[in-house]
């Protein structure tokens, strides 16, 4: 049995996987509010109970160095060696959360992916992975001639680059709001959608009805804005979503250019599946391909939306098994294949 984890600033998602005929088979999963626990060890022990696992891997937000990471949004320091000892699991690994998503791509079935643009599917080469959710994650899937190897990055924290007058004014608004430098994550993420909404209300003066203000105060603002934008029931919410989708497409194109992802682009994270109908309307792809003299290069790149919410868990489980097999010489995946 393999333990996989997706550790975020607000929740920890854990799952157990086994292998059946070489494929990952989901057993059970559970989400835990991170703020209610003193650390990851406490959550894992509660989740596992009497279950025994042979290896574990946790996808974590931020750069992992020598198996160690200090979380930015939680007062936790994670160390793979300490976790291995305290949990009694022989093999424990920590990898970047987008790196885990990257390993998960290879485990996905056709019905867990939506092709937004076919591009030229015959091209072989690097792939890009971008995922907007609570924050903005970016990763590289580098083609080595045989397979794609995921590499993490912190590209979501690169400087935000406005492309038109609205975005230039948005940048000015955000620089004042955050007292300084603005990253892509301030625009292309859950908080980014709310930032854009606030800009349209406060700078552009678009009307916010009383009933909408009351809902935003009582509920999750991102969920409300998304719901009303998709249902076309609020002008300001629709405009916020349009700006968000365009900025998302533009940054996805930027990443694709930087790593020359002729093998395709994957859009993951929690937001994309929820706004799939909006991504289909052409605004995302227009911004993605709007790269001047290199536009045709982007047009030829396949763009795919990851629909599976457990992609990072799948990737973490696959990584745990593969690395543990290297170290122990025993592979549960290989052993499960029927000859």
CA gap 238, 231 in Å, rounded: 9
Strand partners, 91: 55
Mean pLDDT value of segment 90-101: 95
pLDDT at position 107 over 80: yes
Q: Above 70 in pLDDT, residue 298?
A: yes
pTM for the model stands at 0.93
- Residues 271/274/280/286 CA torsion (nearest 10 deg): -20
Rg (CA), the chain: 21
> CATH number of the domain at 2-104+310-335, out of 3.40.47.10, 3.30.420.40, 3.40.640.10, 3.40.50.720?
3.30.420.40
How much is the pLDDT for 339? Answer: 66
Q: Is 170 left (phi over 0), alpha (psi -120 to 50) or beta?
A: alpha
- Cβ atoms < 10 Å from Cβ of 311: 27
Reported as type and span, the H/E element at residue 149 is strand 148-152
On the CB side of 263, CA atoms within 13 Å amount to 18
Choose between 113 and 71: higher pLDDT.
Answer: 113
Q: Where are the domains of the chain?
A: 2-104+310-335, 110-307
CB–CB of 56/43 below 8 Å?
no
**Domain 110-307 falls in which CATH fold?**
Hexokinase; domain 1 (3.40.367)
Task: Return the pLDDT at 335.
Answer: 87
Mean model confidence pLDDT for the chain: 94
Higher pLDDT, 113 or 50: 113
pLDDT band, very low/low/confident/very high, at 205 (cuts 50, 70, 90): very high
Contact by Cβ (8 Å): 63, 154: yes
Q: What is the pLDDT of residues 127-145, one digit of tens each?
A: 999 999 988 999 999 999 9
Which DSSP symbol is given to 111?
G
């Amino acid at each position: 049995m393999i333990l996989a984890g997706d550790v975020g600033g607000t929740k920890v998602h854990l799952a157990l996987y086994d292998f059946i005929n070489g494929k990952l088979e989901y057993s059970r999963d559970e989400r835990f509010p991170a703020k209610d626990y003193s650390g990851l060890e406490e959550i894992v022990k509660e989740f596992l109970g009497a279950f025994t696992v042979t290896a574990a891997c946790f996808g974590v937000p931020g750069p992992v160095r020598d198996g160690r990471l200090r979380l930015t949004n939680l007062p936790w320091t994670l160390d793979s060696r300490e976790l291995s000892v305290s949990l009694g699991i022989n093999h424990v690994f920590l990898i970047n959360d987008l790196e885990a998503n990257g390993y998960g791509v290879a485990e996905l079935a056709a019905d867990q992916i939506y092709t937004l643009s076919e591009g030229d599917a015959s091209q072989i080469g690097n792939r890009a992975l971008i995922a907007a959710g609570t924050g903005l994650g970016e990763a590289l899937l580098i083609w080595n001639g045989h397979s794609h190897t995921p590499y993490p990055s912190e590209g979501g924290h690169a400087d935000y680059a406005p492309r038109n007058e609205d975005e230039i004014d948005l940048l000015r608004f955000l620089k004042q709001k955050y007292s300084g430098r603005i990253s892509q994550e301030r625009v292309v993420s859950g908080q980014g959608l709310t930032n854009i909404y606030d800009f349209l209300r406060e700078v552009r003066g678009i009307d916010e009805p009383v009933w909408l203000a009351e809902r935003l105060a009582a509920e999750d603002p991102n969920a409300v804005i998304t719901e009303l934008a998709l249902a076309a029931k609020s002008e300001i919410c629709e405009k916020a979503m349009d700006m968000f989708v365009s900025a998302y497409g533009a940054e996805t194109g930027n990443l694709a250019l930087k790593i020359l992802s002729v093998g395709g682009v994957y859009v993951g994270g929690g937001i994309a599946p929820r706004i799939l109908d909006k991504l289909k309307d052409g605004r995302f792809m227009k911004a993605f391909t709007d790269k001047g003299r290199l536009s045709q290069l982007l047009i030829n790149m396949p763009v795919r939306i990851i629909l599976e919410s457990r992609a990072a868990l799948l990737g973490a489980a696959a990584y745990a098994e593969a690395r543990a097999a290297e170290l122990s010489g025993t592979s549960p995946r290989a052993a499960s294949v029927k000859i």
